A and B are shown apart, each in its own frame.
Chain A
Amino acid sequence: MKLQARHLLGLEGMSGGDINLILDTADSFYGVLQRDVKVVPTLRGKTIVNLFYENSTRTRISFELAEKRLSASPLNFSASTSSIHKGEGLRDTIRNIEAMKIDMVVVRHSCAGAPYFLTQCTDAVIINAGDGLHEHPTQALLDMMTIRQKLGRLEGLKVAIIGDIFHSRVARSNAWGMKTMGMDVILCGPPTFLPQHHDCLGVPVTDNIDEALEGADVVMLLRVQLERQSSAVFPSVHEYRDRYGFDIDRLSKLKKDVIIMHPGPINRGVELASNVADSEHSVILDQVTNGVAVRMAVLYLLGGGENG
Chain B
Amino acid sequence: MVKRNFGTVTYPLSGGSQSKPLVITNARVIDPAQGIDGKYNIVLDGGIVKSITEETPPGCNGGADIIDASGLWAVPGLVDMHVHLREPGREDKETIATGTCAAAAGGFTAVACMPNTNPVLDEEAKIRYVIQRGEDCPCRIYPVGAITKALEGEELAPVGEMVKAGAAAVSDDGKTVAKSNVMRNALNYSKSFDIPVICHCEDAALCAKGHMNEGLVSTKLGVRGIPVISEDIIVSRDILLAEYTGARIHIAHVSTAGSVRLIREAKSRGVKVTAETCPHYFTLTDEDVGMYDTNKKMNPPLRTAVDRDAVIAGLADGTIDVIASDHAPHVSEEKDVEFDTAAFGVVGLETSLGVVLTVLVSRGLLTPSQMVERMSAAPNRILGLPGGSLKTGSPADVTIIDPSVKWTVDPAAFFSKSRNSPFIGMGLEGAAAVTILGGRVVYRRG
Contacts and interface: CB of A to CB of B under 8 A. Distances in A.
Kindly name the residue among B216, B218, B220 whose own CB sees the greatest number of chain A CB atoms within 10 A.
Answer: B220
Interface string B322-347: 00000000000100111111000000
Given A131-B222, A196-B227, A113 B292 contact: yes
Given A112-B223, A113-B291, A113-B292, A197 B341 contact: no
Interface stretch (A43-51, A132-140, A237-245, A252-260): A132-140
B219 A112 contact: no
A197 B339 contact: no
Contacts of A195: 219
Interface stretch (A30-38, A198-206, A219-227): A198-206
Contacts of A90: 337-338, 341
B23 interface: no
A207 interface: no
Given A90-B337, A196-B227, A113 B219 contact: no
Q: Majority SS of interface residues in chain B?
A: loop
B80 interface: no
Nearest to B223: A112
Given A195-B219, A200-B217, A111 B341 contact: yes
B339 A111 contact: yes
Interface residues of A, number: 26
Kindly name the residue among A113, A117, A131, A199 whose own CB sees the greatest number of chain B CB atoms within 10 A.
Answer: A113
Nearest to A110: B340
Nearest to B208: A231
Nearest to B227: A196
Interface string B53-90: 00000000000000000000000000000000000000
B219 A132 contact: no
Contact of A111 (B216, B291, B340): B340
B224 A116 contact: no
Contacts of A200: 216-217, 219-220
A112 B337 contact: no
A228 interface: no
Nearest to A117: B338
Interface string B271-315: 000000000000000000001100000000000000000000000
A113 B292 CA distance: 6
Interface in B159-193: none
A90 B342 CA distance: 12
Interface of B: 214-225, 227, 291-292, 333, 336-341
9 tightest Cβ-Cβ pairs between the two chains A and B: A134-B222, A113-B292, A112-B222, A111-B338, A133-B222, A111-B340, A200-B216, A200-B220, A195-B219
23 contacts: A12-B220, A89-B341, A90-B341, A111-B340, A111-B341, A112-B221, A112-B339, A113-B222, A113-B223, A113-B340, A116-B292, A117-B337, A131-B222, A132-B223, A133-B223, A134-B221, A135-B222, A169-B222, A196-B214, A197-B215, A197-B216, A197-B219, A198-B219
